[in-house]
Amino acid sequence: MKITEQFTSAATQVGDFMTLASQDVSGMLSVLNDLLGPVPQPDAPSKLEQRATAAGMIQVIRNWQAQDDAPPATEAEIKQFFTPEELTQFSNETGLSEPATLSMLQKLLPRCVRRRALHEPFAPRS
């Protein structure tokens, strides 16, 4: 990595920390819900399930849906589930760096999937 890239990366991480951007999940949830589509209805495959099937992740999604406190997704799962363009959209919409975006998605996606399975509104933990 070039020195200028290291400096840019460090400055972005400091910016994420200083602005507390990684603690504001509202923008991230808006984009996430747009991409996942409407909450699933009985006997109708949801956009979430179609996406998970296409990504080869339907069992992962089923596990998240079944667990009250699922562990965070892995970085590989996030990169498998979302396209690079969608990850860029998350970063642009939230103002987060790529590493901060991945970190936040790793925590939020399993919890959001669970809430959608229960048809409960998502309320971030305090």
pLDDT of residue 120: 63
Q: Which residues contact 61 (CB under 8 A, 6 or more apart)?
A: 48, 49, 52, 113
pTM of the predicted protein model: 0.71
Q: How far apart are CA 63 and CA 45, in angstroms?
A: 17
Query: Do the Cβ atoms of 96 and 107 come closer than 8 Å?
Result: no
The tens-digit pLDDT sequence of the chain (126 residues) is 556 554 444 444 444 444 444 456 777 888 888 888 776 666 666 788 888 999 999 999 999 999 988 899 999 999 999 999 999 999 988 888 999 999 999 999 999 898 888 876 555 444
